[in-house]
Structure 1
C-alpha cells in the first residue's frame, strides 16, 4: 500500500505588527488569517513576537532608556486563556486552518518569546518558548526548556517551529531534525536593525539560515518575517543615531523546499502581504534519500545528541509522608544540565 503524503498550501505573513496594541494586533491577525484561508492556505505562519510587535527599543539605547516602553509592552503581551487568546483560536476554527502565531507570552510577571500552534478546530496543538533569548532580548524575556524542542504530528504532517537565531544553534536544530520534522515554521521579527554594519543581523545571513535549515533537515521551511512601520520609527527613533540603527521595511518572508529552492516570488521588503507555496510532503523522501542527517547519513557511534526534554517548572509540589529531609525527591534534583541528569540516572 502506498503512502498518502499531505499536499497543502502554506502562507507566510510579511506585515507590520500593531506595535504595543494587543487588541489592534489581534484584529489584524484575524484579518490576515481570513485572507490567507480565502486564498486556499491550510497553514498560516506569523513572525516572531508579532503580538504586540518586536521590542526594538532594547537594541537602540540603554536598558534604562528602554524601560519607558516596558510596562506597555508587558501589558499588551498575550496571556493564554484570556478572551483575546480565545478570539485567535476562534479565527483558526472559523476558517479551518492551522495557525502558528508568534507572540510575546505573558505569564505572571514574566514574558517569553513564544509560538502558539493552533489547530483547524481551534484547539491548541502546542505552546513553545524560545529556548534562549538572543543577546539583549534577555533583558525582557525568560527562557524556554527542552520540552520546547518538539515536533508535533498534525494532519499537515510533522510540524515544528523555532524563532529567529534559534536557527543558528546547531544542537537545537539537530534535535528537531531527529524528530522527523516535515514542516518547519522559522519565525523572524524583521531584518531592519544595524543594516550595513552588523552583517549577521541582516537579511543575507538570516535568510540563509532558513534556507540551510530546509536543506539540512530535508523539510519545508515556512519563514514569516515582519516589517518595521514608519510609526515604529517615529516612536522609537528619537534622534539621528537611532534612525541610523533601525530602518523601515526589513520584510523577507520566504518559503523554502527541502532542496533549498525558493518556492515563490518574494515581496518587496517594505511591502505588506502574504507569500504562498504549495507543499507536497512526498518530496521530502527525495531529499532524505541524498542525506538524512538523523538517519542513514549519521554516525551515532561517533557523535550523538543528549536531549533533556524535562519541563522546567519552577515549583514542583509533592507529598511523600515518611521521607526524611535529607532524601530529596528526584523532582527537586532536576537540573538544566542534561549531562548531570544522565549521570544521576
Structure 2
C-alpha cells in the first residue's frame, strides 16, 4: 500500500438544467487537480444534476410540475452515458473519482455518490439513506445495500452524504467496514459543519474529505422558477446563495485544507493513511478496543429493500391454442 495519497476536494457550482455542461466543468476541475498531482478527487453532493435548493417542486401547480420535469431530465441513469464519461475522465487523469450525482431510476430520483478508479472502472455507488426535510419531496430513500467501502492502494474509501453524517448508527456501520478515507459531500455550509466533520474524523479515526458547492444567485435559474428569498429584492446576481466551506480533516481532528468561503476552487492535502491512522486508533478505536459488544452492538440490514419482489423466474407455459409459441408469467 502506498504511504500517502494526494487528495483534492472540489468547491464549485453545478450548471443547472445542463448536465453536459456540468460534466465539461467537472473535467476542467479534474484537469487542474491532476496538474497538482492529485490521486483522489471528490466533488460535492448532487454536483451532476444539481442540488434543488430554492425550487418550487412542492408547488403542485403546472409550474412546479414543469420544474420537476426539467430536474428529472437533468438527472442521470446509472449505468448510462454520463457514467461512461465520468469513468473515462477518471482514466484520462488517472485518479480515483468520487462525485455526487442525481440518479434517475424510472421516475424516482436519488441523491447518489459514484466511485471510479484510475483505470476508468465504475466501482459502484452509495444512495443517500435519508433525504433531509424538503429533499424528501423529490428524492427517494436509499438502503444499506449501497453503503460500499472500497479497498484501494491508498486506504479504504467510502462515502456518507450530508446529514447522514448526523446518523450515529450509519457512521458506526461505516467504521465497522473499516473506512479510512471518509468522503462527506454535503449541502451544509453552516458554521457547525466543520465541527461535525472534525468529530467524525476523531470518532472514526479516519481522514474526512467534505466538498461543498459554492453558488451565486446567477448560477441558478431566474425567478419564479427559483427563489432564494420570498421577494429577492435584496438579491443581486453576485449574491452568494451557497457559501462553500469545503474542508479536509486528519484522523486527529486537525484541519488540513479549508474551510474556504471565498469562491470556487480546489483544496488539497496529502493523506498519510498508514502513518497517522494507527496513531489515532491507538487511543480510540470505536469498533475495536474501545467498543463493548457485550452490552452495545449494531446489526445492519444490507439487503436491497425492493417495493416489488417476484418469487420465481419467468417460466414458459404452453398455450393450448398456439403450441409453437409460449407465454411468460
Q: TM-score, normalised by structure 1?
A: 0.83
Contact 1:77-1:104 at 8 Å conserved across structures: yes
Match of 2:83 among 82, 85, 92: 85
Contact 1:190-1:226 at 8 Å conserved across structures: no
Indicate whether 1:15 and 2:7 are aligned. Answer: no
Report the alpha carbon displacement of residue 248 of structure 1 after superposing the two structures with TM: 2.5
Contact 1:149-1:172 at 8 Å conserved across structures: no
User: Which of the two has higher C-alpha Rg?
Assistant: 2
Which is further off, 238-247 or 45-54?
A: 238-247
Report the alpha carbon displacement of residue 150 of structure 1 after superposing the two structures with TM: 2.9
Match of 1:145 among 140, 143, 146: 143
Higher share of residues assigned strand: 2
1:222–1:89 CA distance, 2 compared to 1 (3 A): same
Indicate whether 1:286 and 2:279 are aligned. Answer: yes
Q: Which residue of 1 aligns with 2:317?
A: none
Contact 2:131-2:141 at 8 Å conserved across structures: yes
Deviation beyond 6 Å, 4+ runs, structure 1: 243-246
Q: Which residue of 2 aligns with 1:38?
A: 35
Report the alpha carbon displacement of residue 313 of structure 1 after superposing the two structures with TM: 3.0
Q: Which residue of 2 aligns with 1:231?
A: 218
Please list every run of 5 or more consecutive structure 2 residues that lacks an aligned counterpart in the other structure.
315-329
1:308–1:61 CA distance, 2 compared to 1 (3 A): closer
Contact 1:92-1:119 at 8 Å conserved across structures: yes
Q: Which residue of 2 aligns with 1:272?
A: 264
Indicate whether 1:205 and 2:192 are aligned. Answer: yes
CA RMSD for the aligned pairs? 2.2
Contact 1:8-1:278 at 8 Å conserved across structures: yes
Residues 263-314 of structure 1: per-residue CA shift (max 9 Å, x gap):
02543x1411010000000200000001000000011111100111001233
1:273–1:79 CA distance, 2 compared to 1 (3 A): same
Higher share of residues assigned helix: 1
Q: Which residue of 1 aligns with 2:157?
A: 159
Q: Which residue of 2 aligns with 1:222?
A: 209
Report the alpha carbon displacement of residue 241 of structure 1 after superposing the two structures with TM: 4.6
Q: State the alpha-carbon separation in 2 of the partners of residues 320 and 111 from structure 1.
A: 28
SS of 2:44 mapped into structure 1: coil
Contact 2:212-2:244 at 8 Å conserved across structures: yes
Contact 2:2-2:153 at 8 Å conserved across structures: no
Contact 1:233-1:248 at 8 Å conserved across structures: no
Q: State the alpha-carbon separation in 2 of the partners of residues 229 and 52 from structure 1.
A: 17
Contact 1:233-1:243 at 8 Å conserved across structures: no
1:145–1:288 CA distance, 2 compared to 1 (3 A): same
What is the number of equivalent residue pairs in this alignment?
A: 305
Match of 2:111 among 91, 110, 113: 113
Superposition pairs of residues 167-182 of structure 1, within 5 angstroms: 167-182=165-180
Q: State the alpha-carbon separation in 1 of the partners of residues 16 and 262 from structure 2.
A: 16
Q: State the alpha-carbon separation in 2 of the partners of residues 226 and 320 from structure 1.
A: 45
Contact 1:248-1:270 at 8 Å conserved across structures: no
SS of 1:30 mapped into structure 2: helix
Q: Which residue of 2 aligns with 1:200?
A: none
Please list every run of 5 or more consecutive structure 1 residues that lacks an aligned counterpart in the other structure.
192-202, 322-345
1:19–1:320 CA distance, 2 compared to 1 (3 A): closer
Q: State the alpha-carbon separation in 1 of the partners of residues 14 and 46 from structure 2.
A: 9
Which is further off, 97-106 or 147-156?
A: 147-156
Contact 2:159-2:183 at 8 Å conserved across structures: yes
Indicate whether 1:6 and 2:3 are aligned. Answer: yes
Q: State the alpha-carbon separation in 1 of the partners of residues 234 and 100 from structure 2.
A: 27
Q: Which residue of 2 aligns with 1:195?
A: none
Contact 1:10-1:42 at 8 Å conserved across structures: yes
Q: State the alpha-carbon separation in 2 of the partners of residues 309 and 250 from structure 1.
A: 35
Report the alpha carbon displacement of residue 49 of structure 1 after superposing the two structures with TM: 0.4
